[in-house]
Amino acid sequence: MKQSLTAIIFGLGALAACGTPLAAQGVTTLEAITVVSPSVANQAPAGTFAMPVSALRYEPLVDIEPRNMAEAQSDVTVRGDTFENTGLKVGALSIFDPQTGHYLTELPIAPEMLGAPVVLTGAGHAMDTMNSTGGAVAFGWRPVADAGLISGALGNAGLEREEVYDGWAGSGPQHLAADADWAHSSGNGTVPFGDFHFDRADARLEWVAPRSQTDLFAGYQASFFGWPNLYTPFNSDETENLQTLLVAANTREDLGGGQFVEAGAFYRRNKDDYAFSRFAPLGAVHPYQHTTWEYGAAIGGTEEWQGVFLNYHAEETRDWLRSTSLTFGPYHSRSLTKVSLVPEQQWPADGGYVDLKAGGTYDDSNRARGAFSPVAELSRGWNSSGLRRIYASYSETTEMPSYTALDSSPSGGLFRGNPGLGRSTSRDSEAGLSGSLWGWSGQASLFYRRDDNLVDWTYTDGVFGRSANPVNVDTDGVELVARRSWGLVSVVLGYTALAKEAHYLGAPVTASFYALNYARQRLTAAFTLVLTENLSLRLDNAARIQAADSLRTTGGNDALLSSLGLSWHPSGRRQLELSLQVDNLWNSAFQSVPSVPASRRQLSFGATYGW
């Protein structure tokens, strides 16, 4: 029976009343190295070791569409965009997946090395990221702590995982630091032929000075996983075999008075061997093998000049592709450049300030004409409690198509490309506020986004496979986030409502896999409850009413997804944590991506020892 959002909200309230809250900021003796996201309760998954995407599973301002578990393959979306429109920033650098966008979160970085994820939208997204149009998720490099951990877990469906992390930090205002991580997990999967094995090894060298931090990083991750209908709706048992190498350098210096400069460079190689059928004869060549190489550099910051703050950012990337199947498009290498300059003026006002940003960005490529995009934001802030800030902004962003959309065969195969695709443009208008009321703190925003020539993957009756189609989409939305703590209980609530109107420019469309696969309403609720001095309970929830899609075969359009975590620190051994975790607590069959089976309930028992 179809559930209403009212029933879902009532169910979440009942859970909270029964004392099953979860923690956004739980009590732990491993705080120096634990992943910290103030918007979710369970920082790590039940099914594998934590990855940067793990903290996004219940993030109120981000939606993910997983295949297998979130850490196997997740499409990250912001404000109803698609997996190819979302950006990812690490330090000063925009790192994206030039092949398809499905591998955006293939980052071989231990989350212990990163700060909390920050969701960029509107003017902030336009100024500081490249080649994304909906929004971006940004991570900073966390300073190395003199601490470490060893962790392991066992669970149903043959799950086993191990991880070792260690950090060393020197002393004094200027010092050298280093940390390293190794992690492994494997299992049979929660559905037949959903087996996986993941391995990650990474290390970092860091130099710390009183007002600066410089990081040198190298990491490698190998991921194999299977899943029925992984990318196609043809009842085939498919597999992915990925190897990702990332080398990066980043430095940031605080200049005082709100001024800073940050710069970095990176190299990323991603190898992908996709098999439509894992039961193809031994020795048969998989027809979908791709390798992308990407390297780039960026510099950005804020500096004062004659009483005006100059917000600036510049970056360039070059990437190229080698593929057994993506051979039909106009090019297999490219360069992308973006420069932004947005002056900012601030004036004192009664009890606060008025701030105006106005400037623009310029995107260029050796494969398309350049594009100038305006950026403007007006805000009013207050120094007292209560209403802290209101703002209104307008910004434009552009993006080049991925190699899979551009270079797949336009006339046959599982994935049909479009060699005529060009630069897409997004225009974002929004207004919002933030502050506190009755003990709650939070933020709210209203937005309208117009995407022109956005690339969607669609299905048409009588056509085998899916096709890359340009589409113009109008998206209206509202976002609300609220949080409060009562000492032993912490609550974070989020609500997003979206409405879309699409006009396809290419072939007739029967159904959309991505652009029109979105939650019309989504409610997140994260609870943390400290039961005793030694025992804490965490519960994450996401309730959603999904837009109808004829490709969705099971699970309906409404869903309640939850993750539960219970942790115990034995008296006298506070460095030891014993845990019980459950993902997909209610064993929901909801298909986040139409036609792709849901990952079912995963249970794990773990132990972590920290020092």
Mean pLDDT per block of 10 residues along the chain (611 residues) reads: 35 34 37 68 95 95 96 96 96 96 96 96 97 97 96 97 97 96 98 97 98 98 97 93 98 96 98 93 78 98 95 98 95 98 96 97 97 98 93 98 96 92 97 96 98 95 88 98 95 98 89 95 97 96 96 91 96 91 97 95 97 93
Contact, 291 vs 322, CB < 8 A? Answer: yes
Question: Burial of 256 by CB count in 10 Å (0-12 exposed, 13-18 middle, 19+ buried)?
Answer: exposed
Q: Which among 355, 345, 347, 348 is positioned nearest to 392, based on CA atoms?
A: 355
Task: Name the helix (H) or strand (E) containing 399.
Answer: strand 387-399
Do residues 447 and 393 touch, judged by C-beta distance below 8 A? no
CB-count burial class (<10 Å; 0-12, 13-18, 19+) for 556 = middle
Q: Residue for token digits 């080649």?
A: 131
In this prediction, residue 461 carries a pLDDT of: 85
Q: Output the six-digit token pair for 308.
A: 């005006």
Residue 106 tokens read as: 């293939």
Q: Give the separation between CA 6 and CA 596, rounded to whole angstroms.
A: 27
Q: How far apart are CA 219 and CA 208, in angstroms?
A: 21
In order of their start, the domains of the chain are: 5-610 (2.40.170.20)
Which stretch of DSSP H or E encloses residue 452?
Answer: strand 440-459
* Distant-in-sequence, close-in-space partners of 424: CB < 8 Å, separation ≥ 6: 85, 133, 398, 399, 401, 451, 452, 453, 454, 455, 470
- Residue 289: phi and psi, rounded to 5, are -120, 125
Where do the H-state alpha helices sit in 493-608? none
The alpha-carbon radius of gyration of the chain (Å, integer) is: 23
Buried b vs exposed e over 31-60: b needs ≥16 C-beta within 10 Å? Answer: ebbbbbbebbbbbbbbbbbbbbbbbbbbbb
CA distance 335 to 385: 47
| CA 60 – CA 54 distance, rounded (Å) | 13
- What's the pLDDT score for residue 29? 43
What is the pLDDT at residue 507?
A: 74
* pLDDT recorded at residue 573: 86
Would you state the pLDDT for residue 37?
83
